[in-house]
Structure 1
């Protein structure tokens, strides 16, 4: 009889401990202190391609709401508040802030050098540090870009990995993400054509 009681007690305790595990929520980006009623949640799996994602982010922003990209893990939810303005300002950050996605893999800006997970700590502190008018970084800025028809594969994994590195820094600086469309640059016309004009 005591054995049956012990079994039920163990099962009850196990179930109770499972229920007590709370989901932690971490926020990244400027809008994290805004009213939650304006937030519209987005999940990457909802989008057929990258163009649909950036269009939806812009649409939400231009309708006076706040886009929130939700990345879920076991017992952890990461909310990414993209840096987006309805009326884009002229802003040309250093190329070091860019991460270009091709076929689900992150690459350094305008290169074929893949960004590997074990290099993210160094990239975060060196390449993604954003300086404006000081010798100290003001924040961290990562501009994710892809072609409109590109898929969103790999972006969630990259965001998870880079936010884990950011959390290890235990810093008060903001970690900001921008989602931009990569544009293929056309080569300049040959010199002979310019001179004939």
Structure 2
């Protein structure tokens, strides 16, 4: 007959083992239930991810290198893609930069452009806004539909330019995250057109008229 004194420690050890195994089992069950939400932005309905080439931001030293690689991809008939991820969401942002090889310029109406340069938003080089105003700026253009001539003709024509002077590669994931979040708050559309761009100098205003000039030319 087993001694009751030896049974006590055995039961305690067995209970501890069962308790530890149950904890690991619960953790494994919880991990299996956690599945990240996947979202795509800028991918058109008739396209698939197979046309995309991933831009791994850690491979670029500066904004110029990133732009050069972006253009190289689009000029090879592919779409550059940047993936941003956190504990719950995977966002894939497909960039719609055009291939500029052999082109001197592309004519786009300023009213169809929202530019974000160094985390400052501007519209037609007239109105400048802090990044906190991004959702309101997007809403105004997306919902305008040609009503007011200073804003976008339609969501289909709206372009978002993103450019930086310094540290742009490091800041890009955050601005893309904020931009896509603002878009989701404004519309259920995900076909946002985002271009990575260089900052172009603002054209100087025309010289003021000489009020002392005689209307007859003397």
TM-score by length of 2: 0.69
1:33-87 residue CA offsets vs partner (Å, 9 max, x unmatched): 5233321111333321111111111100111222111122223221111112214
Q: Distance in 1 between matches of 2:188 and 2:204?
A: 42
1:155 to 172, 184, 188: 172
| Residue 94 (1) aligns with residue 108 (2) | no
1:176, distance to aligned residue in structure 2 (A): 1.9
- Indicate the structure with greater strand content: 1
| Residue 172 (1) aligns with residue 160 (2) | no
**Which consecutive segments of 4 or more residues in structure 1 shift more than 6 A?**
132-136, 188-191
Pairing 1:18-57 to 2, within 5 Å after superposition: 18-31=31-44, 33-57=46-70
Higher gyration radius (CA):
2
Q: Distance in 1 between matches of 2:147 and 2:126?
A: 28
1:82-141 residue CA offsets vs partner (Å, 9 max, x unmatched): 11221463223327611112xxx3343547955233x22212201466746999843453
Determine the structure 1 residue equivalent to 2:4. Answer: none
Q: CA RMSD in A?
A: 3.3
SS at match of 2:170: coil
| Residue 141 (1) aligns with residue 141 (2) | no
Query: Comparing both chains, which one has the higher relative contact order based on Cα–Cα distances under 8 Å and sequence gaps of 6 or more?
Result: 1
TM-score by length of 1: 0.75
Whether the aligned pair in 2 keeps the contact of 1:50 and 1:151 (CA below 8 Å) is yes
1:172, distance to aligned residue in structure 2 (A): 3.0
Whether the aligned pair in 2 keeps the contact of 1:128 and 1:141 (CA below 8 Å) is no
SS at match of 1:178: strand
Instruction: Flag structure 1 segments of 5+ consecutive residues without an equivalent.
Output: 192-197
1:28, distance to aligned residue in structure 2 (A): 0.7
